[in-house]
Amino acid sequence: MLLLSMLLSNQTGKSSEVILKDVDSLLYVDTDVLFLRPVDDIWKLLRQFNSTQLAAMAPEHEIPKIGWYSRFARHPFYGSAGVNSGVMLMNLTRIRSAQFKNSMISTGLAWEDMLYPLYQKYKNAITWGDQDLLNIIFYFNPECLYVFPCQWNYRPDHCMYGSNCREAEREGVSVLHGNRGVYHDEKQPTFKALYEAIRDFPFQDNLFQSMYYPLQLKFLETVHTLCGRIPQVFLKQIEKTMKRAYEKHVIIHVGPNQMH
């Protein structure tokens, strides 16, 4: 069964059983996601949910005319360009108690009663697995979704055709999503450089000397690509996080009176 439905319910044909009965909230991320700022910061977005919202994702694309869903989808999807499930916040307490509108019956269905029948109905039309199923669900239930900015799920699509994530330009990338294997091939060298810098960082070393400055130099080798022309987008949150960590260490552990 689809990955996300397995997180929340054990689907066996027509019967289902909720398996995360006592978990209030959940942050789901793909394995190719890197946090460029403290993970606590994304949890704070839960506080911005209104009374009907029970999950949060970022748009699949900022520009519908070049987005995947708006051009190729053969099933309903959220909004004008769909949403991406690589980074997803879920209020499971609300999900367990909600009745979801759907395309199968006129009344609402509980999450665990809806997933398998919905999958069966659309399985020949979906391409991206759980993400497509979520798009179908929130197409029928748009009031249930909180859409957070693209800086929280920044993918090659946000720069490979030209920079199109304004929040990342302003605030920097918060969560980097290296889908399509870009951490391990040469298609997007900026993504690969950042991945390798984090992978190889000796965590006992100075952050600026062993990560930030070498990363700046590495980015100089990527300026021939559209993503490589905007290094500040990738570095802004890293720099903020490093400065925060340094100030916390110096001021709290060393003490302001001992600073020179």
pLDDT at 7: 45
Residue scoring higher pLDDT (200 or 254): 200
Provide the pLDDT for residue 2. Answer: 41
Looking at residues 89-115, what average pLDDT do you find?
A: 92
Angle, CA of 128, 166 and 42, to the nearest 5°: 65
Q: Distance between CA 101 and CA 107 in Å, rounded?
A: 7
Give the mean pLDDT of 138-159. Answer: 97
* Angstrom distance (rounded) from CA 110 to CA 227: 42
Burial 68-105 (b: 16+ CB within 10 A, else e): bbbeebebbbbbebbbbbbbbbbbbebbbebebbbeee
Q: Which long-range contacts (CB under 8 A, 24 or more apart) does 203-209 make?
A: 207/242, 207/245, 207/246, 208/242, 208/246
Task: Give the pTM.
Answer: 0.87
Instruction: Report residue 42: phi and psi, to 5°.
Output: -75, -30
107 or 250: which leads in pLDDT:
107
CB atoms within 10 A of CB 255: 9
What number is the average pLDDT over the span 221-235?
95
Average pLDDT, the chain: 88
Each domain of the chain, given as residue ranges in start order, spans 1-148, 151-173+180-253
**Is pLDDT of 126 > 50?**
yes
